[in-house]
Amino acid sequence: MSAVRAALRISRRDIWRAKGRSLLILAMIGLPVLAITAAAVYTSTRGLDPRERLRWELGSAAALVADTDLVGPIRQDAERPGLYTGHPGTPRPSLAKAEIEAVVGPGARVIRSFEGYEEYQERDGYRGAVIWEADARDPVTTSRFHLLDGRFPQAEEEVAVSDVVGVPVGNVLRVTRDGIAKRVVGVVRASPPAVNYDARQIITLPGTLLDGVSHQSRWLIETRQPVPWDRVRQANEKGLTVLSRAVLDEPPASGDGQDDVGGHPFLTWNESLVAAVLVTQVVLLAGPAFAVGLRRRRRELALIAAQGGSARHLKLIVLSDGLVLGAGASVLGAVLGVGVARVIVAAAGQWPDGELGPFEVPVGMVALTVALGTLSGLVAAIVPAVQAARWDVAAALAGRRDSRRDRAGRPLLGTLVAVLGIVALAYAAWTVRLDAYIAGALLGQLGLVMITPWLIRRIGPLARRLPLPLRLAVRDGVRNRGRTAPAVVAVMAAAVTFGMIMVLSDSSVARIEQGHRSLYTWGTTAIYGAEVTEESWRTIRDIAAETLPGVPLVEAFAPVGAKGEPLRTELQERGCDGCGVYQMWGDLPLGGPDLLRYVLGRTDPVAEAALAAGRAVVFDPAGVRNGEVALTLPAQRMIEGVEPGRVSLPATFVQVDGPTTVAGVAPVSAFTSRGYAVKLTHLLVDPQVRRLVPDEVGRLDGPVRAVTAKVAVTAERGPDNRGLRGLHPFIIAAALIALGATFSATALAAADSRGDMETLSALGARPRTRRAVVAGQAAFIAGLGVPVGLLAGLGLAAVESVQMAINIPRMRPDVAPNGYRFPDPGLVLAVPWAQFVAVAVGLPLLAALVAGLFARTRVRVSRRVA
């Protein structure tokens, strides 16, 4: 122990003496610890546990009972009653209030509420919201909400909304597609997203919005007696789930019928792999720093050895450096991480001022992160410690360079490990296992660590024809492979992330574009409404003519049933089962030649002549039989007791090579001659005539929707990829990490090659030559790490794309209404080669430029002992 204490004292003094190197190592170890700690604290604060959710789940009630409409028995989770198992069977009617009172016991007051999902109208369409029907004025329920403005509803035509709905007190909110008008009398703070409620909420009195809509009955239980677990199990026998405050305070013993329906806990195996990846990254960055520091201390350690210090003592001193720096950096990083998280939480806001919950520090996770950081420092110092024990003492005292060369890597073993990583990734793609994916990435990285020294050695002879500064930089990197290889691999790791995110982002965009099925031709602006009156249509036409002067509007009609309801026109025979996306105008909309030209995208004289002759134009070859097309006419809105009508029309088949949005066009006269009335349902702006810009659509939308709530305006812009563009900040972060790793490695290389720089100066080298050498070192490290990392990232992205192609089922139909079969996209891998080349060339050049600008040019010539 005395040797350990002496080693720790020596390390502490040397760390204080070499402040620059110590700060560099502290940053390399502490920054990952800071980032992980801040992320853990923020995640813990954002993620509310069941106790923290009680504020929004129960209010001041003792329990919340929900009816599953199952006969029972069921088995529920104690903390998350929404997780339950049972036999579906035949649904039963919801239990009455008296039955609930009998289950929860005497002396309890039961407050009934209903929860469902409906839509409300916004300026640009409809948004979904959770409807909560209950008397929010009751003291038990009032405490569930934080009232920001106004009051809670007191009449059927009144509602309160959460603040994210964005409708102030006094305004009218139109709910459901029928445009039911409700006056907003209160605004409440939205519940945090972690709660099992949508942030968009509408609060109203019972029986005002959810009649005829699927909803769930819930009862808040106010009682002085706690609702224990045995009472919960009795409720489960009736098909009820119970969230009980008493059960959360005293959870049932494990195995009491509640823990077999839990969620999906994060696997400790995955945590171990993530920890291993973290340790590897820190070692790759901090290991060379320890090695450089060790070379700066060669004389000091040689003096200790000359005075009787053994190889074990030298190892202890170097390992003490790793322990002290690792522990200090980890503790400092953890403290700063908590502070950074506190600042972020304060800026984001805690409920009710923000969406975060109570500030919470996960002590166990932070302690684990500190332990991993300390372990990383120790592991990073192992190889330098072994090297220190093998030094030639006489050469070290004389200031001569160690004659032993760095190991040339283990290419065969590294190749084997990398192949194992590829196998693990292939297994992950087939089985969708996260642990296999992380294991494959880890093994691939370790394989690169073993192969890179051999690769660097092979690059050395290629530097003969380079200019002198670059030649010196490459040979310095080859000669000091122990320092260069980890730095190159660290840059590779950041470039892997960069390349993988870039490819996955572009591949996702391509996949969405290939799978997108639109209701209208791309670029169309549509004004539609199946239940708009003719008077309203006249007003809308005038608005469109004033907003879009000179722009013709294409009209589409639908037949009308006996009760005045709009009918859909569906083919009885077609080339696929359930093909096509949902068409608001049916398979065959009614219209004239302008509608036919719009859906065809071209002028077809034969088709227009057939339409003028009163014949339907059908694009699906299976739909025409003996010169006729058979149609089914169901109501666009399901009406109980009304059977769909049937009609046959003379038809002409027109061949269309690509997909269409409808199966054809029928003439209006074909239905009016059979006694049907017709109704206008669509006004379309043909993109071949005029493609409206967003500002024009906005100017048209407001006045049109002000005419009636039963009309809407939409512009077909293709798939929405805005969410995927949000990945670009991660790409920028990966590029910054790669630059940071390059600059750190370059600083170490410059410090380690100070003797060589002094020799160059003694031979007459100018300061700009030194700058060029330093720039060359940065270009060599980044120029080798970035391209290889980008290719490796491409490989990981390819594995992920294969996984998606295998395991993600097709969610959209693969046949268009005209029978056109969309090709199966299968494996979608979009590689942005232009960006790859720009990054592979530009990032090393940028690193070289910055490193050269900030390189030291002042030289202090030192005396050497011969």
- Per-residue b/e over 402-428, b at no fewer than 16 CB within 10 Å? eeeebeebbbeebeebbebbeebbeeb
Residue range 827-842: mean pLDDT, rounded: 84
Residue range 424-434: mean pLDDT, rounded: 72
pLDDT bracket for residue 238 (50, 70, 90): confident
Q: Quick one: which of 725, 724, 698 has its CA closest to 713?
A: 698
Q: How is 841-860 classified by DSSP, letter by letter?
A: HHHHHHHHHHHHHT------
pLDDT bracket for residue 336 (50, 70, 90): very high
pLDDT at 591: 92
pLDDT at 656: 86
Q: What angle do CA 741, 746, 751 make, to 5 degrees?
A: 130
Q: How far apart are CA 200 and CA 191, in angstroms?
A: 9
pLDDT at 56: 73
Supply 406's token pair.
């760095």
Q: How far apart are CA 319 and CA 313, in angstroms?
A: 10
Residue range 129-144: mean pLDDT, rounded: 82
Q: How far apart are CA 281 and CA 743, in angstroms?
A: 16
Q: How far apart are CA 579 and CA 322, in angstroms?
A: 65
**Residue 460 contacts residue 406 (beta carbons within 8 Å):** no
Supply 416's token pair.
């084997």
Q: Give bridge partners of residue 126 from the DSSP assignment.
A: 121
Residue range 676-705: mean pLDDT, rounded: 85
User: Is the per-residue pLDDT at 247 higher than 60?
Assistant: yes
**Residue 179 contacts residue 710 (beta carbons within 8 Å):** yes
User: Is the per-residue pLDDT at 617 higher than 90?
Assistant: yes
Residue range 102-117: mean pLDDT, rounded: 81
Predicted confidence (pLDDT) per residue in 370-403, tens digit: 888 888 788 877 877 777 776 666 666 656 655 5
Predicted confidence (pLDDT) per residue in 633-663, tens digit: 887 665 555 577 888 999 999 988 888 888 8
pLDDT at 276: 56
Average pLDDT, the chain: 77
User: Is the per-residue pLDDT at 152 higher than 60?
Assistant: yes
Domain boundaries, the chain: 113-219, 469-516+723-866, 525-718
Q: How far apart are CA 234 and CA 104, in angstroms?
A: 9
**3-state DSSP assignment of residue 223:** coil
pLDDT at 865: 46
> 87-101, 259-273, 786-800: which has the minimum mean pLDDT?
259-273
Q: Give bridge partners of residue 158 from the DSSP assignment.
A: 183
**3-state DSSP assignment of residue 815:** strand
Supply 218's token pair.
């819930």
> 234-243, 532-541, 588-597, 801-810: which has the minimum mean pLDDT?
801-810
**Residue 660 contacts residue 817 (beta carbons within 8 Å):** yes
> 7-21, 183-197, 778-792, 832-846: which has the minimum mean pLDDT?
183-197
Q: How many CB atoms lie within 10 A of CB 264?
A: 5
Q: What is the DSSP letter of 228?
A: -
The percent of residues in the chain predicted with pLDDT above 90, rounded, is: 9
Residue range 271-292: mean pLDDT, rounded: 61
Residue, of 129 and 194, whose pLDDT is higher: 129
User: Is the per-residue pLDDT at 311 higher than 80?
Assistant: no
Q: Quick one: which of 342, 365, 101 has its CA closest to 220?
A: 101
Q: What is the DSSP letter of 641?
A: T
> 57-61, 406-410, 491-495, 780-784: which has the minimum mean pLDDT?
406-410
Residue, of 257 and 478, whose pLDDT is higher: 478
Q: Quick one: which of 307, 360, 139, 110 has its CA closest to 218?
A: 110
**3-state DSSP assignment of residue 146:** coil
Phi, psi of 65 (to 5 degrees): -105, 130
**Residue 68 contacts residue 239 (beta carbons within 8 Å):** yes
Q: How is 71-121 classified by DSSP, letter by letter?
A: -S-EEE-SS-TT-EEE---S--PPPPHHHHHHHH-TT-EEEEEEEEEEEEE
User: Is the per-residue pLDDT at 158 higher than 90?
Assistant: yes
268-296 vs 19-46: helix crossing angle, rounded to 10: 170
Q: What is the DSSP letter of 666?
A: B
The percent of residues in the chain predicted with pLDDT above 70, rounded, is: 76
Q: How is 295-352 classified by DSSP, letter by letter?
A: HHTHHHHHHHHHTT--HHHHHHHHHHHHHHHHHHHHHHHHHHHHHHHHHHHHHH-BTT
User: Is the per-residue pLDDT at 18 higher than 50?
Assistant: yes
pLDDT at 556: 92
User: Is the per-residue pLDDT at 333 higher than 70?
Assistant: yes
pLDDT at 12: 77
Residue, of 360 and 197, whose pLDDT is higher: 360
Q: How far apart are CA 339 and CA 328, in angstroms?
A: 17
> 294-303, 717-726, 828-837: which has the minimum mean pLDDT?
717-726
Q: Give bridge partners of residue 220 from the DSSP assignment.
A: 64, 111
User: Is the per-residue pLDDT at 288 higher than 80?
Assistant: no
Q: Is the sign of the CA dihedral 202, 208, 211, 215 positive or negative?
A: positive
User: Is the per-residue pLDDT at 813 higher than 80?
Assistant: no
- Run of H or E residues at 698: helix 694-707
Predicted confidence (pLDDT) per residue in 526-544, tens digit: 888 877 888 899 999 999 9
Residue found by looking up tokens 């060359």 in the block: 776
Q: How far apart are CA 255 and CA 232, in angstroms?
A: 15
403's CB contacts (< 8 A; 6+ apart) are: 392, 395
Supply 720's token pair.
């929405």
> 241-245, 254-258, 470-474: which has the minimum mean pLDDT?
254-258
Q: What is the DSSP letter of 356?
A: B
What's the burial of 289, exposed, middle or buried (CB within 10 Å: 0-12/13-18/19+)? Answer: buried
**Residue 631 contacts residue 588 (beta carbons within 8 Å):** yes
> 192-201, 550-559, 778-787: which has the minimum mean pLDDT?
192-201
* Cα distance from N-terminal residue to C-terminal residue, the chain: 38
pLDDT at 702: 77
